[in-house]
Structure 1
């Protein structure tokens, strides 16, 4: 700030003002601290090794720093090194906001200005110069607040880092499967992060859309581990009303899979299903671009991971189709699947496949000729159903593309 009126104050008066203010800095600091205690009894004051409040040292050093600036002619006052940053850090670590601290600072500036105005009047410094002085005081206050904000942000970042570490340790513990009663075994960890152990959970795995993807803002007690290559989420009470919609909104743009709802002690089982689902996404067998639920893909999760076994069974169960041409074999396979699924008439099958009923009857006769009475065996029909549905899911129904 360009202090034109203050710069016009004769140097002897400036030196006299500075000497008087510095001489009173200790007593003025004590008076300010006394008023702060009266006005803010809830304020917690930390003491140093000697038992004196650290705030007293901070106030005195702030007063002296400001006064020395007045006589030095520098453009910016030198702020007390680290003291007010520590004040901000203490507020952050205590879980309070900076509102109280800033109110305390404003009170201190007003009290200091009142005494400085008295000194200025006693030695006959012009009023415009003193008005500039109060403006400089509030600019100085902004610097003190900035220091405190820096300390506060540092404390909050440290707390968040510690919380995330504890949260990850809790997720690791819940998913280890080594606890018959995880609520008891991990009670200390859950208490430290203020997380209430639920009776049921669902575990999800996420696939990062990009390395720089914004962390999902889950909240609602949902645990998130972003340190893993595939971020893990642990959802308490997943079937609670509105929970699924909340999760879906929070993970927009991400891909992944959420396992089924299980008792807390079985969280590892939910994770295993989520892992299977994510593998299908990575293999291109399920779509990307959304976080899905395993319970919406039961057929795929049961049949697709077993494709080697399914294909081996297909060689035995669908062997009669090798006796006809490829196109006919595909038509017959599709018809066989429709017949098993519907247990319907030729007309029902024709409606499902979009073919003429006479074509459906012809194909059904062919199926009887190829398999004979074995089509009456319910166990064989069930195995055929699994094989044909697996092929349909993969788009390879008897050799199809």
Structure 2
């Protein structure tokens, strides 16, 4: 925000206000401060409880100091200390803006308070100036300087508010990222709880790991629940960011899945918040398999590929009767046996799934029975074959 600078009369100019007028206005400042505070309380809900007790006295004092500094600028004060009151007032306004962030108030509330303060102050100051017999031309100049001065103070407060907000945001982000890393590392509960307290983070019941492409974080984040943690620059997530979403379990999971639909995200299962590493690990495994969306929809594949070497050994053992066949013949029989197992031997369903005639299925199953013998009737062998053929080989 640009600042208007209060013009101080040059040493060869007449003083804007005569000493007796300045003295009369200065005597009015306590009443001005009281009226300013009362009007702000009435018109800005955010300040309704802010000015009670010592805080109210502090604000009243700040108003008096600010307006007193202004009067010193336009009076007959000269010399090297002439700008000291203005400098002090601007610094005070800057610190006020920073304090408003810590009190949880927005710049909108702050600027509303300044607008009310300017209006009320001018009502008092102009009335006293008229009472002292100021000419219309002098009143116009006086008004310009009053509002320029208050504009400068409000700009300083906004700058302080912005600086403090940015600082708080950076500090909070560092704290929440540290908390996320403690959770992923399986740090002791006491360590995690202390980190959560420092970050002012409310402990949820569950956390859900969501892996989001970097290009989609900006679009996804606004839809996430309050308190979502973010962990970036994880070595295993090249090009992606991890979000830990609180209490997105049961029916709330539907809303989470809807928020990430079509964005190449991976959503792990909801887990106890201290056990969120398990949710993240599952999402990582799904990512390694090239899956997307809800990991709960891919549980069979995740289970069957949990130990890739064990699955390869199982396939090699139970499908050994096909080893002596030509590759093309073996592939057709594997495909038929898989469909036969999944459709529980219903020949017409198997034929429909493979787009062949039922007689073709009859012929192929005769071949398979000759190769596998009684194993196709043994429950343990059928289970092993079903697992071996459940996921197509990549």
Match of 2:68 among 51, 60, 63: 60
- Give the total of aligned pairs: 359
In terms of mean alpha carbon deviation, does 368-377 or 168-177 score higher? 168-177
Q: Tell me, in whole angstroms, the C-alpha distance in 1 between the residues paired with 2:270 and 2:154.
A: 48
Deviation at 1:222, TM superposition (A): 4.0
Aligned partner of 1:397 in structure 2 is none
More divergent stretch after superposition (131-140 vs 295-304): 131-140
**Structure 1 residue 359 corresponds to structure 2 residue 369:** no
- The DSSP-based 3-state class of the residue aligned with 1:15 is coil
User: Is 1:203–2:209 an aligned residue pair?
Assistant: yes
How far apart, CA to CA, are the structure 2 residues paired with 1:155 and 1:21? 39
Task: Look up the match of 1:88.
Answer: 97
Is 252-261 or 20-29 further displaced after alignment? 20-29
C-alpha separation in 2, matches of 1:161 and 1:188: 19
TM-score normalised over the length of structure 1: 0.74
CA pair 274-112 structure 1, distance change in 2 beyond 3 A = same
Task: Give the gaps of 5 or more residues in structure 2.
Answer: 1-6, 42-48, 77-85
Q: Does 1:17 align with 2:17?
A: yes
Q: Is 1:221 matched with 2:226?
A: yes
Distance across 2 between alignment mates of 1:130 and 1:46:
30
Q: How does 1:217-366 map to 2 (within 5 A)?
A: 217-229=222-234, 230=237, 231-241=241-251, 243-251=252-260, 254-280=263-289, 285-287=290-292, 292-366=293-367
SS in 2 for 1:206: strand
Structure 2 residue matching 1:324: 3-state secondary structure: coil
Name the SS for the 2:391 alignment partner.
helix
Q: 1:374 aligns to what?
A: 375
| Closer/same/farther in 2, CA of residues 252 and 357 from structure 1, 3 Å limit | closer
1:262 is paired with a residue whose SS is: strand
CA–CA separation in structure 2 for the residues paired with 1:14 and 1:155: 41
Cα distance change, pair 253–29 in 1 and its aligned pair in 2 (3 A): farther
**3-state secondary structure, aligned to 1:255:** coil
Query: Runs of 5+ in structure 1 lacking a partner?
Result: 1-6, 69-77, 395-401
Partners of 1:167 and 1:223 within 8 A in 2: no
**Cα distance in 1 between the residues matched to 2:57 and 2:386:** 74
- Pick closer, same or farther for the CA change 1:108–1:361 going to 2, 3 Å: closer
Deviation at residue 390 of structure 1 after TM alignment? 2.6
Query: Cα gap change, 1:18/1:269 in structure 2, threshold over 3 Å: closer, same or farther?
Result: farther
CA drift of 1:155 comes to 1.9
Once residues 260 and 188 of structure 1 are traced to their aligned partners in structure 2, the CA distance between those partners, rounded to angstroms, is 25
RMSD: 3.7
In 2, Cα distance between the equivalents of 1:338 and 1:317? 16
Contact 2:333 2:364 (C-alpha < 8 Å) held by counterparts: yes
**Which residue number in structure 1 is paired with residue 166 of structure 2?**
157
How has the CA–CA distance of structure 1 residues 55 and 324 changed in structure 2, closer, same or farther, with 3 Å as cutoff? same
| Cα gap change, 1:122 to 1:253, in 2 (>3 Å) | farther
- 1:357, distance to aligned residue in structure 2 (A): 0.6
Select which of 182, 187, 196 maps to 1:173.
182
Pairwise CA distance, 1:67: 7.0
Q: Higher mean Cα deviation, 332-341 or 307-316?
A: 307-316
**Relative to structure 2, which stretch is displaced further, 261-270 or 366-375?**
261-270
